Structure 1
Amino acid sequence: IIRATHTGKDTNLAHIISLVEAAQMRKAPAQKLADMVAGYFSYGVIAASILTFIFWYFFGTHVWQDITHNATMKMVDTFSHHQSPLGISSPKIVSQYSGLILSLKLAIAVMVVACPCALGLATPTAILVGTAMGAEMGLLIKGGDVLEKVHHLSAVVFDKTGTLTTGKPTVTDCLPITSAETLGPTALLKLAAAVEVGTSHPLATAIQTAAKEKELTLPCATEFKTIPGLGISAIVDGSLVLLGKWEWLQERGITIPKVAEEQAVLLAKSGKTVVGVAMDDSFIGIIAVRDILRKDAQHTVAKLQNMGLRVVLLSGDRQEAANVIGKKIGLDVEDIIAGVPAIEKAITIKKLQQSYTVAMIGDGINDAPALSQADIGITLKSGTDIAMETAEIILMSDRLTDVVSSIQLSRATFNKIRQNIFWAFAYNILSIPLAAGILLPITGFSLSPTGAAGLMAFSSVSVVTNSLFLRRFNKT
């Protein structure tokens, strides 16, 4: 039996296609500059053509009369077997108006050879190939402007839970901290699981999974309230139960016992995330959760550092727990920023932007403001819908190493854009003087309008071909 969950435009494939199409329509700042230059360039070409005609007709043909005559006689041979409509021999007409014909020929050659086609093709062809290559590799890059910003990246910030870690944590400790003898580890877990029914955060999923594995019957919970990045509360059997960070519980008037603080530090130093549990006005226990580091996290961080990028870990977890993860992936202490609430992550990114061009990699609702604030937002396919909408690069394969691939591809694509623009300008710098007859007094060579058209077409083909070489990109 096959069940269709989405059809037509609602399928993942249709969504990917629409993202790629939208990306290919977005212009990079370099393309906007090229388009603006091409607009003014057209006026410059017309002016150069007129000046070429004026120079040769009024000065050049009089200074270099022999050269002018020889160049004109080459054209005579072309018309030697043709008669004009008036029955006058074409060679005689050509000879009589040699100065005018040569001047027109050179002016037309300048106008034809300087057509800004190569300049107009320089950026969009590279973006088309780059975004298409990205889609084939499972990298959805949302536009040419993204490619250009990635090229200037100097720092990469990672969220911890669900990004550097698998996002599938498990409960390791359930420690009641209360004088009430009736509250044991099982009762504490039941209360916590009942409250966590109201959210889909990875930590909540871990607590609910632990309760299911123990086949616990959960009490009824109502009036759920979630504070993103801080905690959650609900009414369970008439009592207000709160789960969350120490700071949030203290803001709610909960006093944290010294023994609980000591225990939390020990758990955090072993790399575990600590969740405090309170009922009414009393702190009643601790639940510790451990998430596994992704297998490719250390390799990804090392690659990024080798590319000259600063890598930062940004987490809302305790400093001790974040330090454990940070050291495993090879980060220095100053590159581990912990204890940052979700609402302040964007502020932290903004501070980093004072010195760096920043990319933020995250996957949760809590990360959306930071993804939006960063110069480049990157998220995994497993991320929330809001994270995928906010991010400018989506890693469809859910591999962390694709962060490196996306940056490498973006840099390669932007390098192609720069090569194309350089070639387009260099071509015009060299071809316009040639078409204007700069070699005519020295060698007797002049570029005909047909030769100018061929040279112009060659420049466009060369730009497109150079962009197609991007398909040889290999991620490392």
Structure 2
Amino acid sequence: MSVPSPAGPACCHGAGSEPALVASAAEMERELARERTLLRRRLSVAAVLTLLVMLSSLPHMLGRHSLPLLPPWFTSPWTQLLLTTPVLFWCGQEFFSGAASAFRRHSADMNTLVAAGTGIAWLTSLVATLAPQLLTAEGLPADVYYETAAVILTLVLLGRLLEARARGQTSEAIRRLLQLQPPTARVLRGGVPQEIPVALVAVGDLVQVRPGEKLPVDGVVVEGSSWVEESMLSGEPTPVAKGPGDTVIGASLNRSGSFTFRVSQVGADTVLAQIVELVRQAQSSRTRVQRLADQVVGWFVPAVIALAIAAFVVWFLVSGNAVLAMLFLVSVLVIACPCALGLATPTSIMVASGKGAENGLIFRSAEALETAGGLRTLVLDKTGTLTRGQPAVTDFERLPGGRLAAPELLAAVAALEERSEHPLAEAIVRYLRPQLPEPPLAAVEGFEALAGRGIRGRSGSHELLVGSPRWFSELGLDVTPLEPLVARLEAAACSVAAVAVDGRIEACFGIADPLKPDAAAAVAALRRLGLQVVLLSGDARRTAEVVGAQLGLDRVIAEVRPADKAAVIRDLQARGEGPVAMVGDGLNDAPALAQADVGLAMGTGTDVAIAASDITLISGQLAGVPAAIELSRHAMANIRQNLVFAFAYNVAGIPIAAGLLFPLTGWLLSPMLAGAAMAFSSVSVVSNALRLRRFRPTPLPTAARR
């Protein structure tokens, strides 16, 4: 098995590539850890100081001169100034540097809005603290707004920390992938086995593998045979028989038997290294979803600043009073302060994420929550996602004229299969055990397992064979009575294990990976939500099409190798069928999960698939997929409503703050009233976001369950 090299620049080939990949992933993880540590430190300081500022401003907010429990010095504007200044200029320094950078590019972004709102609130408060007589001389209150600036900075810092934690999932996925490879290999040098680091293994070396060990690199078996568990790479539950001439993959697990293989690929050429690179490329190339608030900020900030300056100029020319004109300027800027805008998106995101967790849905980022509601195409992996991921007996048929009575035959087969390590044997034993009495099973003599064929042994005076019909044909047994059963079972995507007693075929088992109980209902729910559902599988086309027919799916993509799954997602995106989501659980699904606009991983799947995904379904139930899409749509509708609330009071109040009514009524919207309007818009936003707590996913129809 091989994977084509990913397009575009890749890491260098050769034995030294693994250390380079490890070093790169480790450096990325260290950098993200440093960023998270700094953000946590700044958020902690900001939260403590903001709490103190809010306590200090309580008398002002309650309209009282003092409170019994708070000393006068603590409620002084000077104390609030000392507490707020480090929040702005140390904890929030990145917002001011970001605003300055945007200004140099002649643009505006959320940093501009945060810096302008908090900076103006701080500067206005500073003037009221240092020279209150400038305001009181005009009969105006010397109000301060330190708590407003501190609260805005603290909330936005919290959002930045959550975003940084989400970005850490990229390096975590790559680190877990690299950990699958064993650090050493047992290489034959001069006929003597030697333990050497994997980085020193070269193409052409002979490597020995014992039972229970992981394969260090890719190669071809030259001696011995075994069953190799490739589920960590393929996602398929059934180990594969390996013998001379068969390809083996690094990081797969040797279940039983020992063998020697010749190394064919090392470094960046191995399947594992190429999957690592595919995950890295897909995650780093994903475009970030642009929030609606960011689009608005581009024109809102310059427009507000222009209106504020215009109000100052007009009223200075009309009245000749610089203090009065300055009040109009400050009122416009304060009422347009981004407190509600800063809450509009993160509050809904936090509430929706909490509701998701209650329903077994873990969203890795706000982008995933936003994008899921707009999906057009959803790709479903088969094994472990639509199916249970564990083989089970679905059919058992006895042929007429058997030599053994049913109880005796079942007991003999169970005794023989208990000696085998093959998962199909485990499925047969699980099926037979409830039908057998409690006493120990009969002894088996001469047990022998033949990789890829079956098992044989003696129970009492009878010789038993359990294996594939093809093996029975090779042994010269008459398989004609079995052919109709084999045809029917294989048409239903079942593996067939036949039973022969003393050279005569007496029964056969049909073994398959059954669909999950909620698979059909979940697919039906997804189609009702307007999504195109595609089945993607590495299985043979007939097997995949049988599963697709059971689910009512017309679009099935089968026989897809691990590295090609990400290419299928890219192709769907390139054809304009996006946004595209991928649902999977195996390691081979990790590149496709990362490539998709939204990756959903089963919580019962591999750690790497979960780490590479955007949404994790903790329970492993498919009902979580339509629930995640429904929650996303509710959350995005809630965010749009919040943005209306965030701007409604502010935009309506800006003309009044600019003095539109002053010539007619003498009514001046003071900065204090502007702050109250801003606070009321924040209350509206939070109250509306809390409505998401009432979200309940639509139950799957019982009739569609299997």
TM more than 0.5 = yes
What is residue 571 of structure 2 aligned with on the other side? 351
Shift of 1:320: 2.5
1:342 maps onto 2:562 in alignment: yes
What is residue 315 of structure 1 aligned with on the other side? 537
What is residue 586 of structure 2 aligned with on the other side? 364
1:147 maps onto 2:406 in alignment: no
Q: Deviation digits for residues 149-180 of structure 1, max 9, x if unmatched?
A: 212211111112221122232256899xxxxx
Query: Distance in 1 between the 2:590 and 2:672 partners?
Result: 57
1:56 maps onto 2:315 in alignment: yes
What is residue 402 of structure 1 aligned with on the other side? 624
What is residue 423 of structure 1 aligned with on the other side? 645
How is 1:88-103 mapped onto 2 (pairs within 5 angstroms)?
Answer: 99-103=321-325
AA in 2 matched with 1:343: A
Tell me, yes or no, if the aligned pair for 2:562 and 2:589 is still in contact at 8 Å. yes
- CA change 1:438–1:327 in 2 (3 A) is same
The number of residues matched between the two structures is: 370
How is 1:60-459 mapped onto 2 (pairs within 5 angstroms)?
Answer: 60-61=318-319, 99-171=321-393, 196=422, 206=427, 266-273=488-495, 289-332=511-554, 335-354=555-574, 355-459=577-681
What is residue 4 of structure 1 aligned with on the other side? none
Which secondary structure does the structure 1 equivalent of 2:380 belong to? Answer: strand
AA in 2 matched with 1:351: D
Tell me, yes or no, if the aligned pair for 1:190 and 1:218 is still in contact at 8 Å. no
AA in 2 matched with 1:131: S
Tell me, yes or no, if the aligned pair for 1:38 and 1:120 is still in contact at 8 Å. no
Tell me, yes or no, if the aligned pair for 1:312 and 1:331 is still in contact at 8 Å. yes
Query: Distance in 2 between the 1:430 and 1:217 partners?
Result: 90
- CA change 1:267–1:345 in 2 (3 A) is farther
Any stretches of 5+ residues in structure 2 without a counterpart? Answer: 1-160, 168-286, 398-411, 454-466, 471-479, 498-507, 699-706
Query: Distance in 1 between the 2:393 and 2:690 partners?
Result: 51
- CA change 1:262–1:104 in 2 (3 A) is same
Which secondary structure does the structure 1 equivalent of 2:581 belong to? Answer: strand
Report the TM-score when normalising by structure 2.
0.45
Tell me, yes or no, if the aligned pair for 1:273 and 1:317 is still in contact at 8 Å. no
Tell me, yes or no, if the aligned pair for 1:268 and 1:318 is still in contact at 8 Å. no
Shift of 1:440: 3.2
Query: Distance in 1 between the 2:315 and 2:328 partners?
Result: 8
Tell me, yes or no, if the aligned pair for 1:152 and 1:357 is still in contact at 8 Å. yes
Which secondary structure does the structure 2 equivalent of 1:353 belong to? Answer: helix
AA in 2 matched with 1:328: Q
- CA change 1:401–1:172 in 2 (3 A) is closer
Structure 1 window deviating more from structure 2 (343-352 vs 448-457): it is 343-352
Greater RCO (Cα-Cα under 8 Å, separation 6 or more): 1
AA in 2 matched with 1:363: D
Tell me, yes or no, if the aligned pair for 2:340 and 2:682 is still in contact at 8 Å. yes
Shift of 1:124: 1.3
Any stretches of 5+ residues in structure 1 without a counterpart? Answer: 1-20, 62-96, 176-185, 198-202, 225-231, 234-242, 247-258, 276-285
AA in 1 matched with 2:308: S
Query: Distance in 1 between the 2:683 and 2:446 partners?
Result: 69
Query: Distance in 1 between the 2:428 and 2:639 partners?
Result: 50
Q: Deviation digits for residues 74-131 of structure 1, max 9, x if unmatched?
A: xxxxxxxxxxxxxxxxxxxxxxx8x445433322211221111111122111111111
Which secondary structure does the structure 1 equivalent of 2:563 belong to? Answer: helix
Q: Deviation digits for residues 251-304 of structure 1, max 9, x if unmatched?
A: xxxxxxxx99999765332232579xxxxxxxxxx9963122222111111111
AA in 1 matched with 2:316: Y
Q: Deviation digits for residues 203-232 of structure 1, max 9, x if unmatched?
A: 68647868999977897999x9xxxxxxx9
Query: Distance in 2 between the 1:364 and 1:173 partners?
Result: 27
Query: Distance in 2 between the 1:451 and 1:166 partners?
Result: 61
Q: Deviation digits for residues 373-398 of structure 1, max 9, x if unmatched?
A: 22211122211222222222111123
Report the TM-score when normalising by structure 1.
0.64
What is residue 279 of structure 2 aligned with on the other side? none
Tell me, yes or no, if the aligned pair for 2:383 and 2:389 is still in contact at 8 Å. yes
Tell me, yes or no, if the aligned pair for 1:311 and 1:331 is still in contact at 8 Å. yes
- CA change 1:458–1:301 in 2 (3 A) is same
Which secondary structure does the structure 1 equivalent of 2:379 belong to? Answer: strand
- CA change 1:473–1:191 in 2 (3 A) is closer
CA-atom RMSD in angstroms: 4.4
AA in 1 matched with 2:562: A
Which secondary structure does the structure 1 equivalent of 2:583 belong to? Answer: strand
Which secondary structure does the structure 2 equivalent of 1:350 belong to? Answer: helix
1:469 maps onto 2:469 in alignment: no
Shift of 1:32: 6.2
- CA change 1:160–1:204 in 2 (3 A) is farther
Which secondary structure does the structure 1 equivalent of 2:535 belong to? Answer: strand
Tell me, yes or no, if the aligned pair for 1:372 and 1:391 is still in contact at 8 Å. yes
User: Percent identity among equivalent residues?
Assistant: 43
Query: Distance in 2 between the 1:392 and 1:468 partners?
Result: 24
Query: Distance in 1 between the 2:630 and 2:641 partners?
Result: 16
- CA change 1:408–1:307 in 2 (3 A) is same
- CA change 1:264–1:336 in 2 (3 A) is farther
- CA change 1:149–1:192 in 2 (3 A) is farther
Tell me, yes or no, if the aligned pair for 2:650 and 2:678 is still in contact at 8 Å. no
- CA change 1:49–1:309 in 2 (3 A) is same
Query: Distance in 2 between the 1:30 and 1:444 partners?
Result: 46
Which secondary structure does the structure 1 equivalent of 2:342 belong to? Answer: helix
What is residue 70 of structure 2 aligned with on the other side? none
Which secondary structure does the structure 2 equivalent of 1:321 belong to? Answer: helix
Query: Distance in 2 between the 1:101 and 1:167 partners?
Result: 74
Tell me, yes or no, if the aligned pair for 1:139 and 1:394 is still in contact at 8 Å. yes
What is residue 149 of structure 2 aligned with on the other side? none
Which secondary structure does the structure 2 equivalent of 1:157 belong to? Answer: strand
